[in-house]
Structure 1
Amino acid sequence: MNKMTKGEVEKKIDAIVDDPNWNRIIKQNLQIHREVPEFDFNLEGLAKNMKKRNPDVARWCESYGLWPGRTWALFASYSHWIHLSTNTLPFYNVFPRLQGQFPSNDFNIFGNDESPSNHWMHQSEDESESFHLSNRMWRWLRNKDGVHVLHNDRTEIGTYLPDRGTDASVGTGQGEYTPEHVHHNYRYTNVYEKSRELRGVEGAKPGQFLEKGSWSPESKW
Structure 2
Amino acid sequence: MMSITDPNMSVKFTSTLEETHKKHLETYAKVIDTTVELPESHSQFVSSAFDTCLKKFKDDEMLFDTIQTFRKDLEQKKVSLKGKRQAISEMISEIQEKEMQKEDIIQKIEKLKEEQAKRTELIESQNKANKDRLRNLQKARGVFHDHLGMEIRTILGKTEQDKGKKLQFVFRNINPSKQDSAYVITMGITENGSYQIVSSDPTLECLSVLENQLQQTNNLPAFLAKVRKEFISQARCSNTMP
Q: Could you say which structure has the higher helix fraction?
A: 2
Higher-Rg member (1/2): 2
> TM-score with structure 1 length normalisation?
0.21
> TM-score with structure 2 length normalisation?
0.20
Q: Which has the higher contact order (CA 8 A, sep 6+)?
A: 1
